[in-house]
Amino acid sequence: MPSMPAHADVPRPAISLARVLLPALAGWVLLNAAIIRLAHGYLPFDRPAVAHMPFFWQVAMPSLALVEQIALMALVWVMTRNRDHAARFARLPAMPQAARETIGLLAWAMVAQGLGWVIAPLFGFRPFSFHLAGTLFGCSVPPGPGEALAWAGYNFVAYAVVPYAWFAKANDANALWLTFDRRGSDWPGNDWRVLVVVLVVESLVQVAANPAPLATPATLWLSAAPLTFLLYLVGTVLPTMVLIYAILVPRYWRLTGSVAASTVLGGLTYAAMHLVEGWSSFTSPTNTLLSLLFVFATYTGPGMFKSYVTLRTGNAWVHALGYHAVAPHVLYDTPLVARIFAIG
């Protein structure tokens, strides 16, 4: 993947690019081999939107998406190649503090995720994850309004409000990578230009790969799309942005000194926050393992791109608005939200 330009004030990576990419490639191959070996030609998931696809294409989709995500990383590198990254690196917390904060926040994230798995069923809901049941892939039994609102509220408090309240005590919005850089009038441009270009390119790619959004009636879009945007903004976009990309990914960079390593760690963290998806099957040990493996196949690539664009811009809002809230959620989840809230 593209790397940061050399700068005298940015230390040489503590982990070389080859030491990151080779294990990552080997891990990706082994992950897909394990899925194929366990599945025996059938994925036991509740994903109506892709259930008609042959097994080969369902397994291949994450790898094809990863190719596109790496190409999009290259585009982001071109747009941000003139950025000065040294000042941003210098504002990161010292190594011991970064290590303590990283361990503490990861521990909280796992505790909060576990609580979501326990609390939600007490109210008759499916276990809460970073995605609402039915997101992107549909589901045979869509959630009701209560489940959707409870999911959004729980995630917002657990993964956005609590981490932000804790870390904002010692960091301003700039240190948390939550401010826009408006400097620059040339093509590499500012954060808004990167955001818009990523949003347009990703939207076109997603619609070309799956034109389902084009079949959504215009009246449904006008009535349900705003609610979809708000629901997913609160339930997954802001929690993802604050927990992983405003706090954890910058600390990964401090600890590793490597953009490549931080990108991969961010992708793995993003996938780990989706361990229990609405489409997962836990009816047997094999299905459980297959579900967990497929979560990492599905979400590591998107999580890596979110990490990379955040590292390149120093602004977690760029991925949140350019590569999450609208594409894919408003594009693909507006019909689901309309069904949940009986809109249209």
Distance of CA 254 to the CA centre of its chain: 21
Question: What's the pLDDT tens digit per position in 172-210?
Answer: 666 788 888 765 444 455 899 999 999 999 999 999 999
Q: In angstroms, how far apart are the furthest CA atoms of the chain?
A: 58
CA–CA separation, 309 and 313 (whole Å): 6
Asked if residue 81 lies in contact with residue 184, where contact means CB atoms within 8 angstroms, the answer is no
Name the residue among 118, 296, 319 with its Cα closest to residue 237: 319
What integer is the mean pLDDT of 235-239?
Answer: 98
CA–CA separation, 237 and 135 (whole Å): 13
Question: What's the pLDDT tens digit per position in 316-339?
Answer: 999 999 999 999 999 999 999 999
Round the CA-based radius of gyration of the chain to a whole number and report it: 20
CA–CA separation, 10 and 136 (whole Å): 39
Asked if residue 245 lies in contact with residue 307, where contact means CB atoms within 8 angstroms, the answer is yes
Question: What's the pLDDT tens digit per position in 48-87?
Answer: 999 999 999 999 999 999 999 999 999 999 998 888 777 7
pLDDT of res. 84: 77
